[in-house]
Amino acid sequence: MNVVVTGAGGFIGHHLVNRLKAEGHHVRGVDLKRPEFAPSAADEFQIADLRHFESCLRATEGMDDVYQLAADMGGIGYISANHAFLTRNNTLINSHMLEAARLSRVRRYLYTSSACVYPSFLQNGADVTPLRETEAVPADPEKGYGWEKLFAEQLTGYYHEECGLDVRIVRFHNIYGPLGAYDGGREKAPAAICRKVALAPDGGCIEVWGDGLQTRSFCYIEDCIEGIRRIMESGYARPINLGRDELVTVNQLVDAACAAAGKELTRRHDLTRPQGVRGRNSDNSVLADLLGWQPETALCEGIQPTYDWIAAELVSASP
C-alpha cells in the first residue's frame, strides 16, 4: 500500500517508517525536518509545515493509509511552558490533516493521542488506578497539550461519524527507546534520566525533578510500533490505550538507569521543577481483549538499549 507517516522525522515516526518499509509498503515521510540520528528509510520524504492546509493535501495525495504522528511536543518542562503555541500548532495540524485525508479519499487514518487527555482528578495520587479509555470524559486533561489532544480525538471521531473516514485513535503512555531526543528540553523522562546518569561519574549525584515518588508506566518503542500496526489492522475506531501497565516511581526509573550503567549515584530532588500529574498508569483491558496482545517489554529490559544508545551518542558528541 501507499502509506504516509507524518512526524516521520521524530522518534516514533522514524521507527514506524522502518517497520512499514520492512513490511513492503511504499512509504512517504513528512516532517519539518529529517530524522536527526539516522537516515529515513522512507521512499520519499517531504519537508513540510503541516500547519498549512496545502502541505497536508500534498502529504495525503495518493495515499491509502495515514499515520498522523506530527505534533509540537516534548517533555514536561517543554509542554508546561508552551501552552498557547503548542495548542495552536497542533490544532492546526490535526484539523488540516483530517480534512486533507477526507478530500484525498484515504482508506484509513490513525491519530496518535496521549494519556495526557485523562482527567487530572484521577491522577492526584502516586498509587493510582489504571486509567480506562471511558474515563477521559468528564474532561479535565492536562493544560494545553492534554486539551488539544482530547479535542483532536473528538474531531477525529466526528470525521468518522459524519464523513465515513475509517479512523483509529491511539493513546500513548510514555514511549521511550533509542533514537529519541535526549537533550535540549523536548526529551521525555527516561531519556533525560539516562543522559544524566551517563554524564555523572560513578558515585556522583544527579538532579531529579520532584520528590521521585511520582509514578508512571513506560512503554518501549518496539512494543509501541507493534501496537500501532495491530491497532491499525483491528478495525477498532474508538480511543484505545497503548502503554505498558507496569507502574514505577521516578526513583525506580533512576534505579533502572543506574543499573544499566553499572553506577551507584545519589539524587538531589528539585521540587521547583514541573512534575506533571502525581501518578498515571495504563489500563490495558481493551487492548488485550481486542488484540490478544499487550506490550511485553519490562522497564529493566527496555532501559538497557536506551541507556547504551544515549551513552554512545554522548561519547561521540564530546570534543
Strands 248-249 and 215-216: antiparallel
Q: List every span in the chain annotated with CATH 3.90.25.10.
A: 177-217+246-281+296-317
b/e burial code for range 264-300 (CB count within 10 A of at least 16 → b): ebebeeeeeeebbbbbbbbbbebbeebbeebbebebe
User: Taking a C-beta distance cutoff of 8 angstroms, is the pair 134, 170 a contact?
Assistant: no
Q: How far apart are CA 155 and CA 165, in angstroms?
A: 11
Active-site annotation holds for 145: yes
Residue 75 to residues 9, 105, 121, 272, 274: CA-CA distances in angstroms?
17, 34, 21, 16, 10
285: helix, strand or coil? helix
44: helix, strand or coil? strand
Question: Domain 2-175+219-242 has what CATH class?
Answer: alpha beta
177-217+246-281+296-317, CATH topology level:
UDP-galactose 4-epimerase; domain 1 (3.90.25)
Q: List every span in the chain annotated with CATH 3.40.50.720.
A: 2-175+219-242
Q: And the C-alpha cell for 15?
A: 521507527
Catalytic residue among 145, 159, 176, 220: 145
pTM of the model: 0.96
Evaluate the CA torsion angle 215, 74, 224, 228 in order and state its sign. positive
Q: How far apart are CA 38 and CA 64, in angstroms?
A: 26
pLDDT tens, per residue, the chain with 319 residues: 999 999 999 999 999 999 999 999 999 999 999 999 999 999 999 999 999 999 999 999 999 999 999 999 999 999 999 999 999 999 999 999 999 999 999 999 999 999 999 999 999 999 999 999 999 999 999 999 999 999 999 999 999 999 999 999 999 999 999 999 999 989 999 999 999 999 999 999 999 999 999 999 999 999 999 999 999 999 999 999 999 999 999 999 999 999 999 999 999 999 999 999 999 999 999 999 999 999 999 999 999 999 999 999 999 988 7
